[in-house]
Copies of this chain bind each other. A is one copy, B any other.
Amino acid sequence: MSDYMSAIGRRAKNATKYMNRLGQIEKNEGLRAVAEALREQGSFLMSENEKDVQAAQTAGMSEALVDRLRLTKDRIAGMAEGLDQIAGLDDPVGEMISMKTRPNGLRIGTRRVPLGVIGIIYESRPNVTADAFGLCFKTSNVTVLRGGSDAIHSNQAIVKVIRETLKGQDLPEDAVILVEDTSRAVVSDMMKLHGLIDVLIPRGGAGLIASVVANSTVPVIETGTGNCHVYVDEYADLGMAVDIIENAKTQRLGVCNACESLVIHEKVADEVIPMIYDRLRKKSVEVRGDEQAVRIQDGILAATEEDWSTEYLDSIISVKVVSSIEEAIDHINRNNTGHSEAIITENYDHALQFQDEIDAAAVYVNASTRFTDGFEFGFGAEIGISTQKLHARGPMGLLALTTTKYVIFGNGQIRK
């Protein structure tokens, strides 16, 4: 363990004490002040960001990735607007969820409290820096941010503006700490800060997440890998099925709740596969299928076993034909990542069976998987989408950044 990272852990832990004492008004004023400062310092942020953009271009990064990295005036306005919105949300911290009086007179209350220190490990988009700070600050948590080396100048600039603003408001500037050393050794150390960091949230590709899960001694919330399916049941409204599939696959490529794989009941396969193929080809989506799908429709390429478990994040989709809803459910449970799954059916029993038996964070009947998102679910914001079962599952809003504490009021009770 390097002194560098353990010192950051101790600073973060120490700052929780001050965060615990902040009231809602101070926190919301702090968030609005930071939003204002980000707007005012737009030129500074863009000039620092330009260093990252130039380095990325020199290193030959693809234009799509460079674009994710770039801060424009609009994107800075978007970050600021995000903080203003978070300021306007209800604060869950301090809520007493329940209070019971036991037979011995003890009053046992369950109160929502901050998690403490939240570590976020993420890749190139610098707007995550402001978003993550905002959600964690709103819930009285300290954030330790470890962004990618690609965005280091942008992240340093954003965190500098945040910390200076907090200091100017007499708020704890260590509410957000950037890990400026972006070496691999330091990120390994960060994952070992058990007792100083309360939870780690990796945001990025499957490789990053798997590495954090394998190496962290700090509890991890896994987010955002989505091998999502749409199952077209034998009792589906086929027109609805095609509309939903088009939306789930193509409304936005490269997001975790996009549909990557179709499962089609054999009784409707002959009719619906050509309809789906036509619609997706218009959006330039490559279709890969099993033997039956290939037989039904010219132009469908043969899928391999690997296709069933692949999250393409691209203009590709796979198609499998099944002979029963049970086979569909088994196939999906074997290959999915626990994110979002949909059935298209007009059959009551099949709708319920699918919702009962599919093991995923969000199970849809007759709707697009693209709705799995904190804003669409009405949370007002999200820190990510959990694909694990502990603590939080599905889109994580402010509540997912809190825990509970039992507060017990006695008047001398002892245990018999």
User: A residues engaging B (CB < 8 A)?
Assistant: 16-17, 20-21, 100, 102, 106, 108, 115-116, 194, 198-199, 213-214, 217, 219-221, 237, 240, 243-244, 246-248, 251, 333, 351, 355-357, 359-368, 370-372, 376-378, 388-391, 393-394, 403-415
| Chain B neighbourhood of A393, CB < 8 A | 403-406
Interchain nearest-CB distance for A4 vs B (Å)? 22
| Chain B neighbourhood of A368, CB < 8 A | 410, 413-415
Q: Are A408 and B361 in contact (CB under 8 A)?
A: no
In Å, the complex CA distance between A191 and B371 comes to: 34
Candidates B102, B364, B372, B407; contact of A363 at CB < 8 Å? B407
Candidates B100, B198, B333, B371; contact of A415 at CB < 8 Å? B371
A-B contact pairs, 8 of them (CB 8 A): A17-B357, A106-B367, A115-B390, A364-B408, A365-B409, A366-B410, A367-B408, A394-B405
Closest to A216 in B: B217
Candidates B237, B243, B407, B412; contact of A414 at CB < 8 Å? B243
Q: Are A390 and B199 in contact (CB under 8 A)?
A: yes
Q: Are A377 and B365 in contact (CB under 8 A)?
A: no
| Chain B neighbourhood of A391, CB < 8 A | 390-391
Interchain nearest-CB distance for A356 vs B (Å)? 7
The 6 closest A-B pairs by CB, nearest first: A367-B410, A247-B414, A370-B415, A389-B403, A391-B391, A362-B406
| Chain B neighbourhood of A370, CB < 8 A | 414-415
Q: Are B213 and A408 in contact (CB under 8 A)?
A: no
In Å, the complex CA distance between A322 and B128 comes to: 43
Interchain nearest-CB distance for A291 vs B (Å)? 26
Candidates B362, B407, B411; contact of A366 at CB < 8 Å? B411
Interchain nearest-CB distance for A129 vs B (Å)? 23
| Chain B neighbourhood of A408, CB < 8 A | 362-365, 367, 371
Q: Are B406 and A357 in contact (CB under 8 A)?
A: no
Q: Given A102-B376, A364-B410, A370-B414, 12 other A-B contacts at CB below 8 A?
A: A21-B356, A106-B371, A116-B389, A244-B412, A251-B414, A251-B415, A360-B405, A363-B405, A367-B410, A368-B414, A368-B415, A393-B403
